[in-house]
Amino acid sequence: MPRIVLDRTDKRILEVLQKDGRIANNELAERVSLSPSPCLRRVRALEAAGVIREYAAILDPVCLGLGLLAFVSVKLKKEGKMPIEQFARAVESWPEVVACYATTGDMDYLLRVQVEDLEHYSRFMMDRLLKLPSVIDSRSSFALERVKETTALPL
């Protein structure tokens, strides 16, 4: 996807929406010093260009009983494309995996796994991840404390 050139007003709109995606257009327009119609046109253009990908509610995992956050590095067999496709399909189907990134270095993927507790994590690892024939190694790290977590990108 090509890089989109944003002016100061677009960036201000995005900064406000990153903090409050439910803000009314009238209030957004006021905060970025525009009248409502041009503000709405800009938001729609940012959505159409793919700059604004989606809107979502951000839930607190601890309030939902999902207090254990693990980062799992995974190494796959290097036998053609099949292991990668199989792994990707599996990851897509696992609700515990809230993010998955292909990485450089010794390991191939980094998973962010959010579960209830160590028992749930153990079941996930033994019954799902480690049962995939393409997985040859994994390493886990557990989050002890959230120092910073944001969905806002630096503009």
Task: State residue 4's pLDDT score.
Answer: 86
Residue 117 within any structural domain of the chain: yes
Within a domain: residue 99? yes
Q: Edge to edge, what strands does the sheet with 109-115 contain?
A: 97-102, 109-115, 68-76, 135-142
Residues 90-139: pLDDT tens digits?
999 999 999 999 999 999 999 999 999 999 999 999 999 999 999 999 99
3-class SS at 97? strand
Residue 35 has pLDDT above 80, yes or no: yes
User: Tell me, what's the pLDDT at 1?
Assistant: 65
Counting beta carbons within 10 angstroms of the beta carbon of residue 29, is it exposed (0 to 12), middle (13 to 18) or buried (19 or more)?
Answer: buried
Domain region containing 17: 8-48
The total domain count for the chain is 2
| Tokens found for residue 102 | 């292909």
- Whether residues 38 and 95 share a domain: the answer is no
Q: Are residues 72 and 41 in the same domain?
A: no
Determine the Cα–Cα distance for residues 152 and 57; give it in Å rounded to an integer: 13
